[in-house]
Amino acid sequence: MRIGVIGTGEMGGTLARRWSANGHRVRVANSRGAEAVKAFADEAGVEAADVYGAVDGAEMVALCIPFPAVATLPGDLFERATQGVVIVDTGNYYPDVRDPRIAEIDAGMTESVWVSRQLGRPILKAFNSILFHSLSQLGKAKGVPDRLAVPVAGDDAAAKRIAMELVNESGFDPVDGGSLEESWRQQPSTPAYCCDYGVSKTQEGIRAAVKGKAEQLRDHAWREGYGRLYAHKPTHADVHADVIAMNRSLNPLPH
């Protein structure tokens, strides 16, 4: 498959490497042009491009950029992609921590619905609810016990099947997260978000989400806990277990 990855940070870089290793043709880009990603591309065995080049002819495009940056992408960006290109939003909205406030989302709009409207394209939501350490270090082959799960939400069944297979190839069990409108159930501080659960617990977490509750947790209890855990700038590996424990404690699920 021809895949474009826009953003080469922790998540985008990990996914680009993984998909390339699985035999896909991967092009990577960021906002600063092809030269800015050339060193990473050479090291990872993928192709460097600008954002237009990453999308040109792509069958799937992963957006792995800071959440508000979606609104700054060129309006004609996807015109040279294949018809029916699958677009996957991996981002999360963290207002007042990393992102400026977005009025529509604060008023209740689902994050990825906002992204879809910025692009003027149908999209899927995936890979947003797994931590970098989990994505890069904890993937397992299909069928191995205790494999972690990743939900995929969207409205196009065929596109969702493609994204779910890429989740599987990446080392995780895909879970159907429902429609794009329902992807609020996998947004930050919901019960299924970044908790290192398997399929059954992820499905349980998606069902247990309560509209409006996660935003309160994200802006208060999560922010305080996250700030405490990362106060001395540890590595992700050093605090991974504590972050997972904190996230699970915000929305306890029955054992």
pTM value surpassing 0.85: yes
pLDDT at 31: 87
- Look up residue 28 and give its amino acid: V
The alpha carbon torsion through 62, 166, 245, 202 (nearest 10 deg) reads 110
DSSP β-bridge partners for residue 1: none
Structural domain contains residue 219: no
Query: How many structural domains does the chain have?
Result: 1
Task: Domain of residue 155: give its range.
Answer: 2-188
Cα separation, 158 vs 183, in Å, equals 17
Structural domain contains residue 218: no
Structural domain contains residue 75: yes
pLDDT at 80: 86
CATH number at residue 43: 3.40.50.720
Q: Quick one: 170 exposed, middle or buried, by C-beta within 10 A (0-12, 13-18, 19+)? A: buried
pLDDT at 208: 98
Q: From 145, 158, 210, select the one nearest 184 (Cα to Cα).
A: 210
pLDDT in tens, the chain (255 residues): 999 999 999 999 999 999 999 999 999 999 889 999 999 999 999 999 999 999 999 999 999 999 999 999 999 999 989 899 999 999 999 999 889 999 999 999 999 999 999 999 999 999 999 999 999 999 999 999 999 999 999 999 999 999 999 999 999 999 999 999 999 999 999 999 999 999 999 999 999 999 999 999 999 999 999 999 999 999 999 999 999 999 999 999 987
Structural domain contains residue 210: no
Structural domain contains residue 242: no
Structural domain contains residue 117: yes
Structural domain contains residue 42: yes
Structural domain contains residue 69: yes
